[in-house]
Amino acid sequence: MHVLILGGTTEARRLAEILEDRAPRLRVTTSLAGRVTAPRLPPGEVRVGGFGGAGGLAAWLRAHRVDALVDATHPFARTISAHAAEAAAGTGVPLLAVRRPGWVPEAGDDWHEAGSLAEAAGLLPALGRRVFLTTGRTGLAAFAHLDTIRFLVRSVDAPEAPHPRHMEVVLDRGPFTLDGERALLRRHRIDVLVTKDSGGAATAAKLRAAREAGLPVVVVRRPPLPEGVRCAADPDEAAHWLLTHGR
């Protein structure tokens, strides 16, 4: 049985590790987009780069005799998720999406939801002037016009233009500690946090730090999965589905 994991996330790496441990004879290939300079590689085979759209992915599934496709990409990777659904439907390859649960506001949170990065940018002038932007290095163009706001941008790799004029960049990779997030907010005098609803524990400490500091948080809602796609909440659930399917 050959499983293709569309990866790049903690869940994708963990799924590959579980399959290596529980089913060592299973052939597992993880596909990475190639946007991160030094990605953490999972066990098994690894390919890097795009497929050339849904048609290219479908051709790859056929050429490499893939028996099951797992979309374990980032919850905001809307394009590849749509391509995966289309390619799976066109080839008859079973598709499973792995999506960690989204974050839920707690008592004391001051959350402002946005449907897109552009909508999030529109909320900022009324909320503060020193923004901790944790939406990644792509999509910064949505905030480039906000010349009266100073941004602290955190990403794994350096962002490219267009981006905000007043911007300081912190290159770092999670998981992040609560003490570290508290110190960062104080050191940079942050008064607004902007984040995507990525879910998971690796980057959740910033939400608690913002809650303790009484800061408003702009949360960009995640896009829905393509209609009809089966979903697992974690790698263990995905592995169970795969191994049951394999038998």
Do 110-220 and 2-101+223-246 have the same topology in CATH?
Answer: yes
Q: Whole-angstrom Cα distance, residue 51 to residue 31? A: 9
Q: Judging by DSSP bridges, how do beta strands 130-134 and 192-196 pair with one another?
A: parallel
Quote the tokens at residue 191: 């008064």
How much is the pLDDT for 37? 65
> The tokens 């608690």 sit on which residue?
208
How much is the pLDDT for 29? 97
The pTM score is 0.85
How much is the pLDDT for 34? 75
Q: Whole-angstrom Cα distance, residue 23 to residue 125? A: 53
Contact between 218 and 193 under an 8 Å Cβ cutoff? The reply is yes
Please state the CATH superfamily assignment of the domain spanning residues 110-220 in this structure.
Answer: Nitrogenase molybdenum iron protein domain (3.40.50.1980)
Quote the tokens at residue 156: 């794994």
Q: Whole-angstrom Cα distance, residue 55 to residue 137? A: 28
What is the domain partition of the chain in residue ranges? 2-101+223-246, 110-220
What architecture does CATH give domain 2-101+223-246? 3-Layer(aba) Sandwich (3.40)
CA proximity to 235, closest of 6, 8, 43, 17: 17
Contact between 109 and 211 under an 8 Å Cβ cutoff? The reply is yes
**pLDDT 10s per residue in the chain (247 long)?**
999 999 989 999 999 999 999 998 999 999 998 766 667 789 999 999 999 999 999 999 999 999 999 999 999 999 999 999 999 999 999 999 999 999 999 999 999 999 999 999 999 999 999 999 999 888 899 999 999 999 999 998 888 889 999 999 999 988 899 999 999 999 999 999 999 999 988 889 999 999 999 999 999 999 999 999 999 999 999 999 999 875 5
How much is the pLDDT for 174? 83
Radius of gyration of the chain (CA): 19
